Amino acid sequence: MASLTIISCARLETLLNTPAKIYYKYEGISPAGSHKPNSAVAQAYYNKVAGIKRLTTETGAGQWGSALALAGNLFGLEVRVYMVKVSYEQKPFRRSMMQTWGAEVLASPSNLTQAGQQTLSHDPNSPGSLGIAISEAVEEAASRQDTNYTLGSVLNHVLLHQTIIGLETRKQLEKVGDYPDVIFAPCGGGSNVGGMMFPFLADKAAGKEIRLVAVEPTSCPTLTRGQFAYDYGDSVGLTPLILMYTLGHDFVPPGIHAGGLRYHGDSALVSQLYHEGILEAIAVPQLATFEAGILFSKTEGIIPAPESNHAVRAAIDEALRCKARGEQQTILFTLSGHGHFDMVAYDKYLNGELVDQDYQEEILQAALQNLPKIPQV
C-alpha cells in the first residue's frame, strides 16, 4: 500500500529561487488517498486471523477511517467508525468513501455510548475530538466479544507499520546520491513523523547531521505547548495511561480543517524522542498552511490534504531561509495524503472565509489541571 514515490520539487525550487533541494514522499496514491493503509491492512489482517468479526475505530479528517473501511472490506470485517463531528460535517465525501466500502460512520460524540452521552450532557454542541471518538470506539469494543478496537496512530505497532515510508525514502535517495539535511512531517498522533523519521534515527545517533522536525497546528500544539506527563489516550479515561506530551485528555481543540491533527496527545515514542531533544517540533497557523498548499499545488500539480500542508509550509519556510543565507540544503517532507475530499476548506480559503483558530489559554490550563493525579515526570 505504500507509494514507492519520492519526487523532486524542481518547479517549486525555481519559484522560490532557493539553492535548497526539496523532495517529498507522496503517500496519496493509495486507494484511500493517504499513508494510513500501511497500518490499516496489517491490523485488519491480524484481526481476521484472530477470528474477530467487527472493528471499531475513530477518525478525524477521515483518512484513517477510510483506510480501515477499505481494509475491512478486503478481509470481510464489519467496521464502525466514530468520526469527529466537526469533520463529519466538513468532509461529507470522506464519509461517503467509508460508506462505499461498507463501513458504518457515526458523528462523534454520539448518543450510542456512555462516553458520547457524557460529553453531550456537558456540551450539546460539542464539535468532538479524536479523544472523544476514541472513548466511544473503545467503549463499544469492550462491550462485545466479536469486536476489537483499532487505532490509526500513536501506538508503537502503528508507527512500526508506517516506517515503510522512511525505509523506502532512504533507498530512493540513495539511488540519486542524496541525503536529507532536514525532514519535516505533519504531527497529530505521530504516525507520519515516526513512519518517515524513525529509519533515520540510527544515522543521527551515529553522528550524522540531520534535523527531524514534527510540524503541528498552533491550535493544537501538543509537543510545543503540552506537558510531558502520564495521561489517558482518550477523553473519558478508558485507555491505559501513556507517558507522552499532552494538552490534557479533556482538551477539545478548535475545529480546524486539519482534523487528523486535532489530538490532545502524541505517540509515546515520538514524545520521548522530543523530550530528549532528538526530534524538534514547530507549530504553524491554519492560513499559512493553506497558502503553502495552494503554492505547492500550482507548482507540483498535487493538491495536499490540510494535514500535509503543515509539512509543506515548514519546507517552504526552510527553503526561504536557505535563500536568505545562501545555503544549500536538502529538504525532505512527507505529503501524507491528497486533498481531493477537502475542497470545501480550499473554497473557504480562496473566498477569504477561512480564519486562524487559536486555542483558549484558560481552557488549556484547565485541561492540564485535570491530568491523572500520579507522580509526573
Q: What is the CATH number of the domain that holds 315?
A: 3.40.50.1100
Q: What is the pTM of this model?
A: 0.93
Beta bridge partners, 82, equal 58, 106
| 232-265 per-position pLDDT tens digit | 999 999 999 999 999 999 888 887 888 789 899 9
Whether 165 and 128 map to the same domain: the answer is no
Q: Would 22 be classed as within a structural domain?
A: yes
Band the pLDDT of 343: cuts 50, 70, 90: very high
Q: Which domain covers residue 297, as residue numbers? A: 6-32+157-369
Q: Is residue 331 part of a domain?
A: yes
Q: Pick from 124, 121, 187: which is nearest to 159 by CA?
A: 187
Domain count, the chain: 2
Closest CA to 16 of 366, 292, 241: 292
Kindly state whether residue 82 falls inside one of the protein's structural domains.
yes
222/74 same-domain check:
no
Residue with cell 470481510: 76
Q: Is residue 374 in some structural domain? A: no
CA distance 225 to 140: 32
First to last CA, the chain: 38
Q: State whether 52 and 184 are in the same domain.
A: no
- 84, 97: one domain: yes
* Residues in Cβ contact with 57 at an 8 Å cutoff, skipping those fewer than 6 apart: 64, 65, 68, 79, 80, 81, 82, 137, 149, 150, 151, 152
Domain membership flag for residue 375: no
Please check whether residue 376 lies inside any domain of the structure.
no
Q: Domain boundary at 92, 127, 152, which?
A: 152
* Beta-bridge partner residues of 216: 283
Please tell me whether residues 320 and 196 are part of one structural domain.
yes
Contacts of 365 (CB under 8 A, 6+ apart): none
- What gap in Å lies between CA 359 and CA 255, rounded to an integer? 10
Final residue before a domain boundary, out of 103, 125, 152: 152
Q: Would you state the pLDDT for residue 2?
A: 43
Q: Which residues sit opposite 246 in a β-bridge?
A: 227
Distance between CA 46 and CA 33 in Å, rounded?
22
**Residues 166, 309: one domain?**
yes
- Please indicate, yes or no, if residue 79 is contained in any of the structural domains: yes
Residue 161 within a domain: yes
pLDDT for 122-179, tens place per residue?
999 999 988 999 999 999 999 999 999 999 999 999 999 999 999 999 999 999 999 9
* Domain match, 162 and 303 both: yes
CA distance 65 to 121: 26
Q: Which residue is associated with the grid cell 483558549?
A: 360
Rounded to 5°, angle at Cα 14 from 295 and 184: 60
* Cis status of the peptide bond prior to 285, with omega within 30 of 0: no
Band (376; pLDDT cuts 50, 70, 90): low
Same domain, 123 and 162: no
Q: Are residues 283 and 199 in the same domain?
A: yes
Same domain, 207 and 282: yes
Boundary (domain end) residue, out of 87, 121, 152 = 152
Q: Are residues 165 and 142 in the same domain?
A: no
Q: Do 212 and 349 fall into the same domain?
A: yes
